[in-house]
Amino acid sequence: MRLDRHYSISLSDMSRLEHLAEVRRPLWVILLWCLIGAVAAIFIAGAIIFITPLKTLLPGYMGEDQRKSSVEALIRLDSLSAAYSARQQWIDNVLTVLDTDREPSDSLRLIVNANPMTTDSLIGPSKEESRFVAKMQQREKFNISILAPLAAEGLQFSTPAPGAIFLDSNRTARKARVAVGKGATLGAVADGIVIDVQYSPAEGGYSLIVQHSKGFLSRIGRIGRPLVKPGEKVDVGQAVGIALDATGRETAIISLEIWRNGQALAPRTLIEPNADDLRNALTASDDEDK
């Protein structure tokens, strides 16, 4: 009769020379326990790494500074691509005009192959728009180079949350700090499409980037919990995240950035223009018309 080998694991208190416990199991049972423990440890470690921000410390994972540089480079590349496309459209139209052997304008094939410029690039500003810009340039209270295109294109920005307050004394700060209510729901500052949602260890929360029309992008930082995913279309004011709670404070501080064609802008000049200057400029413009 063959007996299976058993191995024992004993627990003793050497200071008192007391035998506390002893477990006897066959070799295959001990090996099975070790295998199950190793698999469980690997699974738990993997879950902790990929669910928590610890994954940013893995070799080959893009660091916070590298990711920020990459995002800015992609923004500039997208802007350069749009500018190149506009210049190419202009060149194609000039070549079409200079081509004496071109087909008649009523040719269907010419209409299909033509690459005309956009309507807003062919129509110049009206007299009222030019007069409005001239009045605002005299005051120079805020960034008129941004306000004038917005007035002409009908693009309007909104505050990221009701009752939001800009904390920067300088209105031209490119990365604005905005105070909102603790746990406030943050909304999109304009219509657009979400292109990036990423955890930012440097800010202690998530950051969210939205692509708007006319080459504008907005980035909201220090979000406690995002409510949208990349690729989703959002309307102005639509909830995109929950503000990061600050322990012991009744308010939360978020960061807000707005870009256009690869150039960082001052968010406060777009969201909080000087209402008195606007009213005075419009009144002066109406008086001249009379």
Pairing relationship of beta strands 192-200 and 239-243 according to DSSP bridges: unpaired
User: Of residues 197 and 49, which shows the higher confidence score?
Assistant: 197
**Is 280 inside a domain boundary?**
no
Instruction: Give the least confident one: 64-73, 134-143, 178-187, 195-204.
Output: 134-143
Q: What is the mean pLDDT of residues 174-192?
A: 90
pLDDT beyond 60 at 49: yes
**Is 254 inside a domain boundary?**
yes
Rounded to whole angstroms, the Cα distance separating 67 from 45 reads 25
Q: What is the pLDDT of residue 92?
A: 83
Q: What is the mean pLDDT of residues 7-15?
A: 78
pLDDT band at 256 (very low <50, low <70, confident <90, very high): very high
Q: What is the pLDDT of residues 187-242, one digit of tens each?
A: 999 999 999 999 988 888 899 999 998 889 999 999 999 999 999 999 999 999 99
Pair 109, 155 in one domain: no
Pair 210, 261 in one domain: yes
**Is 96 inside a domain boundary?**
yes
**Is 85 inside a domain boundary?**
yes
User: Of residues 111 and 264, which shows the higher confidence score?
Assistant: 264
Q: What is the pLDDT of residue 14?
A: 80
User: Of residues 211 and 96, which shows the higher confidence score?
Assistant: 211
**Is 136 inside a domain boundary?**
no
Q: What is the CATH number of the domain that holds 242?
A: 2.70.70.10
Q: What is the mean pLDDT of residues 100-123?
A: 53
Residue 103 structural domain: 64-123
Q: What is the pLDDT of residue 250?
A: 75
Pair 199, 251 in one domain: yes
Percent above pLDDT 90 for the chain: 20
pLDDT beyond 80 at 133: no
Pair 181, 203 in one domain: yes
Pair 73, 45 in one domain: no
pTM here is 0.47
Pair 93, 164 in one domain: no
Total domains in the fold of the chain: 3
Mean pLDDT, all residues of the chain: 76
Pair 167, 265 in one domain: yes
Instruction: Give the least confident one: 36-45, 92-101, 133-142, 143-152.
Output: 143-152
**Is 11 inside a domain boundary?**
yes
Rounded to whole angstroms, the Cα distance separating 286 from 131 reads 10
Pair 250, 161 in one domain: yes
Pair 32, 69 in one domain: no
**Is 1 inside a domain boundary?**
no
Q: What is the pLDDT of residue 278?
A: 41
Pair 160, 268 in one domain: yes
**Is 288 inside a domain boundary?**
no
Q: What is the mean pLDDT of residues 67-71?
A: 79
Q: What is the pLDDT of residue 122?
A: 55
User: Of residues 101 and 154, which shows the higher confidence score?
Assistant: 101
